Chains A and B, each alone.
Chain A
Amino acid sequence: MAPGVSRRSFLKGAVGAAAAAALPKTFAHAEGRVSKGDVFSVLVDLSRCIGCRSCMRACQRANDLNAPQEWMDIDHLDRRLDLTYNQWTVVNREGIEPSILRHVKRQCMHCLEPACVSVCPVAALAQTEQGPVIYRESRCIGCRYCMVACPFEVPRFEWNNGLTPVIGKCQFCAQERLFKGLPPGCSEACPTGALKFGKRSDLLFEAKTRLGSHPEKYVDHIFGEEEIGGTSWLYISDVPFEKLGFKTNLPKRPLPSLTWDVVSWIPGIAAVLASLFGVLAYSFSRKPHVPPGGAKKEDA
């Protein structure tokens, strides 16, 4: 088990969730969130990113990944990179006209209420109390439901491994750095201050301050503040988000509640069905028995 999630916190989560199941819907929803209080967060200011891809190299180093290094330079920005199981963050040039070209870093958004965690049948994906959503290979069965569920299409699968493929996604450097008091590798490596690490409430304040002090420059939106219930990674931009490939049609409602509304009914449904069929089977069996074969002739 990963050091980030102690057995105690896991049990606490399980007990809390069991309690949530017993509570009315509105309370249950509030209890669905694992992370308590203020979570770790990164503010990405797209107007400050120069596309140097230092964060990509830092990510590779910090997490001991081995994606091909040769394209991770600023010289190769014309080559579009994609997230893979061993490439947890990418920076690409986005936008169509030269005037709106920006460099956009992508990685796991670390949702406050992550869909991937809610769908994973074995808790291979788990949210730590400080916010980061981590992956635990030893539990994973490779069902790829997390990939289907993720609204940002972040988790990636090791397609060329027959028996021990892993899901790869940004871990927020949780175990390698965050829990040791260090900032994530990417934000430490950023030379322009495009990535700022801190507590979510502080960064939201910072983002609002920047938007408020330069309303002529920034788009009046903090991506990640409210999208699907909020994410730990927050983006501000001086170019409309939809022109940079962001999904701007995401609901504000957290996704896990959609399935939890059904899952939380299951014990009740099972109980109702059991008593209903029990009574039915009992009452029908008390009728006088038709001898086998006799019924057929009567019906025909």
Chain B
Amino acid sequence: MIGWSFLAAVLGILCWLAVAYGLGRPPRHGRLLGWSAVGSLWAVTAVVLAIRFFLGMGAMSHMSDRFPWGVWIGLLQSGVALSGGGFVMAATVHIFHLKRFEPILRPVVLLAFLGYTFVALTLFIEVGRPWALWHPLAMWQHHSIMFEVAWCVTLYFTVLATEFSPVIFERLGLPKAVSFIHAVAIPVVIAGVILSTLHQSSMGSMFLIVPQKMHPLWYSTLLPVFFFMSSVGVGLCVTVIASFYSARVFGKTLDRWMLADLARAASVLLFLYAAVRVVDVTARGVWGRLGDPAWLGALFLLEVVGGALLPAVFLSRRSTLERPRRMVWWGLPAIGGVVLNRLSVSWFAMVPYTGSGYVPHWMEVAVSFTLFTVVVTVFGLAVRYLPVFPKESSVVS
């Protein structure tokens, strides 16, 4: 109880500050308040992690033999999906040569890199034997989707680091290294796009093995397709939102026609995604399971209608596309929809079958939330100290 109250307080302070800064009215001691909230969260999480690594996961999570994968898996999968902007924008700029999107490529690649760092850190904590995490690279079992995911994520992490490395090299004043990366940019980007396509969909394929455990509204042989499509759609939404807030917080000029193009593309993807979900449920004839149980049916509707269809409709309207703030407001439910989808697939849709009353321990939530604040902090530091945003003329990254 004390733990949940603590989390709620930290979350409340940070949300309030985010809204206040977003509205352009930072409170007088906002910075101090924010850092003390984040600092105390990090201190508590350090203790939580000590418990995790000394006493085992049983001491700080509500996962059990009946429910071996908890909230971390869903959030990890959300992290992968939300990082989808990286490969979408890299393909747009370098493969389709739409060079006008180049100014936002660096921050988006950085975001994706940090998103995967979030995933890797979560994995390090979530896996029982983190010191053995390199095993899939050496001990092959190519029948396993997880094996494929491990390879793809590792390689893609390398690709993202390579794509972002010119920023570091520029800062260090190494023009030769920069031009070398530019020389190999196209193959690296193509490799990144392939790896992303494969493992974004594989995150869904992982659940193909549990046909009897997952609620039929979610279980479909098209899971890999759903995961891939939604990652592209939500990746574009994240790009819009990140560009908007970066421009606002770091005082950069905002090219809102570029944002509008991205939002329009996102709306097409989200609409297709919602349509395929609806067609899938219709084709399998499982609409009847909508009320069984009712709360799951409500989650499904919230996810497909509220998290994909409505944002798709509103992001395609002229009145939305003319105002960046509205694009942000309609991007947020799309992000929520995808996060809810990942949580549903890995958690909620399994509840009726497993009959487990799993609810995450506050310590589990604290760990994930800490990793999120770490990612945001590192992004802020990188933007401040590295040439992430182009100054005037856009530089090939």
Q: Does A140 contact B (CB under 8 A)?
A: yes
Chain B positions within 8 Å of A251 at CB level = 211-212
Give which listed residue, A160, A278, A287, contacts B56 with CB less than 8 A. A160
B3-11, B30-38, B193-201, B268-276 - interface stretch: B193-201
B143 & A256 in contact (Cβ 8 Å cutoff)? yes
Q: Which residue of A lies closest to B132 (CB)?
A: A141
Q: Is A192 an interface residue (CB 8 A)?
A: no
Known contacts A118-B143, A157-B68; A284/B206 CB under 8 A = no
Answer whether residue A17 sits at the interface, using C-beta atoms and an 8 A cutoff: yes
Separation of A122 and B138 alpha carbons in the complex (Å):
8
User: B144-152, B160-168, B310-318, B376-384: which one contacts chain A?
Assistant: B144-152
With known contacts A165-B129, A270-B198, A277-B190, A159–B64 Cβ distance under 8 A: yes
- Binary flags per residue of A144-177, CB closer than 8 Å to B gives 1, else 0: 1101110101001111111111000000000000
- By a CB distance below 8 angstroms, the chain A residues around B132 are 122, 139-142
Interface positions, chain A 255-299, Cβ under 8 Å from B, are 255-256, 258-263, 266, 269-270, 273-274, 277-278, 280-281, 284-285, 287, 290, 292-293, 295-296, 299
A254 to B94, CA, bound (A): 43
Given A147, A160, A273, which contacts B65 in the complex, CB threshold below 8 Å?
Answer: A147
Contact partner, B143, options A158, A260, A295, Cβ 8 Å: A260
Cβ-closest chain A residue relative to B150: A121
Residues of A within 8 A of B143 (CB): 17, 32, 117-118, 256, 259-260, 263
Least CB distance, B194 to chain A, in whole angstroms: 5
- Contacts of A256 on B, CB cut-off 8 Å? 143, 209
B370 interface contact, C-beta 8 A:
no
Residues of the B chain whose Cβ atoms lie less than 8 Å from the Cβ of A96: none
Asked whether B131 is an interface residue with its Cβ less than 8 Å from the other chain, the reply is yes
In the complex, chain A residues whose CB is within 8 Å of the CB of B55: 160, 162
**Across the interface, do A296 and B197 meet the contact criterion of CB distance under 8 Å?**
no
Number of A-B contacts (CB under 8 A): 193
A259 to B145, CA, bound (A): 7
Interface residues on chain B, number (Cβ under 8 Å): 67
Given known A147-B65, A277-B190, contact A269–B141 (CB-CB < 8 A): no
Instruction: Say whether B212 contacts A250, CB under 8 Å.
Output: yes
Q: What residues of B have a CB within 8 angstroms of the CB of A281 in the complex? A: 94-95, 97, 186, 189-190
Instruction: For the complex, give the distance between the alpha carbons of A153 and B69 in Å.
Output: 13
CA A274 to CA B255, docked complex, whole Å: 32
**A19 cross-chain contacts in B, Cβ below 8 A:** none
Given the interface contacts A84-B65, A121-B147, A281-B190, does A115 sit within 8 Å of B94 by beta carbon? no
**How far apart are A117's CB and chain B's nearest CB, in angstroms?**
8
Q: By the criterion CB–CB under 8 Å, are B198 and A119 in contact? A: no
Q: Decide: A295 and B190 in contact? CB cutoff 8 A.
A: no
Chain A contributes a number of interface residues (CB within 8 A of B) equal to 67
Determine the distance from Cα of A234 to Cα of B55 in the docked complex, in whole angstroms: 38
Question: Closest approach, in angstroms, between the C-beta of B105 and any C-beta of chain A?
Answer: 12
* A30 interfacial by beta-carbon distance below 8 Å: no
Beta-carbon contacts under 8 Å, B164-197 to A = 186, 189-190, 193-194, 197
How far does the Cβ of B265 sit from chain A's closest Cβ, in whole Å? 14
The answer to whether the Cβ of B247 comes within 8 Å of any Cβ in the partner chain is no
Chain B residues in 8 Å Cβ range of A163: 53, 129-131
Name the one of B128, B209, B224 contacting A165, with C-beta atoms under 8 angstroms.
B128
Is there contact, CB below 8 Å, between A258 and B212? Answer: no
Q: Contact mask A1-30 → B, CB, 8 Å, 1/0?
A: 000000000000010010000000000000
A148 adjacent to B69 (CB under 8 Å): yes
Contact B63 A259 (CB under 8 A): no
Complex CA gap A292/B97 in Å reads: 12
**Judging by beta carbons under 8 Å apart, are B208 and A142 in contact?**
no
A244 contacts partner chain B, Cβ-Cβ < 8 Å: no
Residues of A within 8 A of B190 (CB): 274, 277-278, 281
In the complex, what distance in Å separates the CA atom of A280 from the CA atom of B208?
32
Shortest Cβ distance from A273 into B: residue: B194
Q: How far is the CA of A243 from the CA of B245 in the complex (A)?
A: 59
Taking a contact as CB atoms under 8 Å apart, the answer to whether B146 and A143 are in contact is: yes
A292–B394 CB distance below 8 A:
yes
> For the complex, is B142 an interface residue (Cβ under 8 Å from A)?
yes
Return the contact of A120 from the options B52, B57, B144, B198 (Cβ within 8 A): B144
Q: Which 9 A-B pairs have the closest CB atoms?
A: A142-B128, A159-B58, A121-B146, A147-B68, A121-B147, A123-B141, A284-B97, A295-B100, A144-B68
Instruction: Identify the A interface with B (CB < 8 A).
Output: 14, 17, 32, 82-84, 115, 117-123, 139-145, 147-149, 151, 153, 156-165, 247, 249-251, 255-256, 258-263, 266, 269-270, 273-274, 277-278, 280-281, 284-285, 287, 290, 292-293, 295-296, 299-300
Q: List 20 A-B contacts (CB under 8 A).
A: A118-B144, A122-B139, A139-B139, A141-B128, A144-B68, A145-B206, A148-B68, A148-B69, A153-B65, A157-B128, A159-B65, A160-B58, A163-B53, A165-B128, A263-B143, A263-B144, A277-B95, A277-B190, A292-B102, A292-B393
